[in-house]
Structures are given as structure tokens and as C-alpha cells.
Amino acid sequence: MSPRTEESNQRIREEQRERILEAARMIFAHKGFTDTKMTDVAAAAGVSYGLAYHYFKDKEEIFTRLVEWALNGALGLMQQALEMPGTPWDRLHWFLSQSLQGRGNLPGKANQ
């Protein structure tokens, strides 16, 4: 068995970060920011408490990253809507439909 490549290690790290972020998104939605603890996030992500802290300084950093993803996703959807053919009403309808379906605001691969 050969050792993992740096690319393989990087992919694994990115997958861990995404798993933590997705778990945090679900926990924040269910419990709210104040009642969410890093132990909750780590358990939901299936990682150790220490590993969660290896990837993120604290829950504020996780929350900030999730808000950034949501805002970037919304901006991407708005840009797509502006570039679409049709009336302003058609573009607004499309944008709201996509937004309500949760498109454009999920971390990682769930956004693709």
C-alpha cells in the first residue's frame, strides 16, 4: 500500500471541513446559534471534538463561514437572474423559486 498523495490528503481535509460545516448548518438551524456547542457540531459531523477545533477556531468562525456561503450563493443566483432572458417579473420569479428551494446557499458539493 502506497502513502497518500498530497492531493489525496487535501481532498480528505476539504471533505472533513465540508462535513463539519454541513453538520453545523443543521445544528444551528435546529438549536440556534446560542444553544449550539462545538461538541454538538463535532458529534453531528462524526468527528472528534479536537478535530473540529483543528479545522475551525470556534463556532463563530463556522457560523461566519456559513453566512458567507449563503451570501455568495444568493449573489450568484442574483447574477444568474440578471443575465437571464425574459421580463423582470420572469427573472424575479426564477430567483425566488431557486432561493426557496435552497439553491445557491449550501456549503461545498451540495451547492453544485
Domains and CATH numbers, the chain: 6-111 (1.10.357.10)
Cell of 106: 449550501
Q: Name the pLDDT band for 110 (thresholds 50, 70, 90).
A: very low
- Computed over every residue of the chain, the mean pLDDT equals 89
Measured CA to CA, the distance from residue 12 to residue 67 in angstroms comes to: 23
For residue 1, the model assigns a pLDDT of 63
Helix (H) or strand (E) run with residue 44 in it: helix 38-45
Predicted structure pTM score:
0.75
**Interhelix angle for 38-45 vs 6-35, to 10°?**
130
Q: How far from 104 is each of 16, 19, 98, CA to CA, in Å?
A: 21, 18, 8
Q: Are 56 and 62 in contact (CB under 8 A)?
A: yes
Q: Name the pLDDT band for 106 (thresholds 50, 70, 90).
A: low
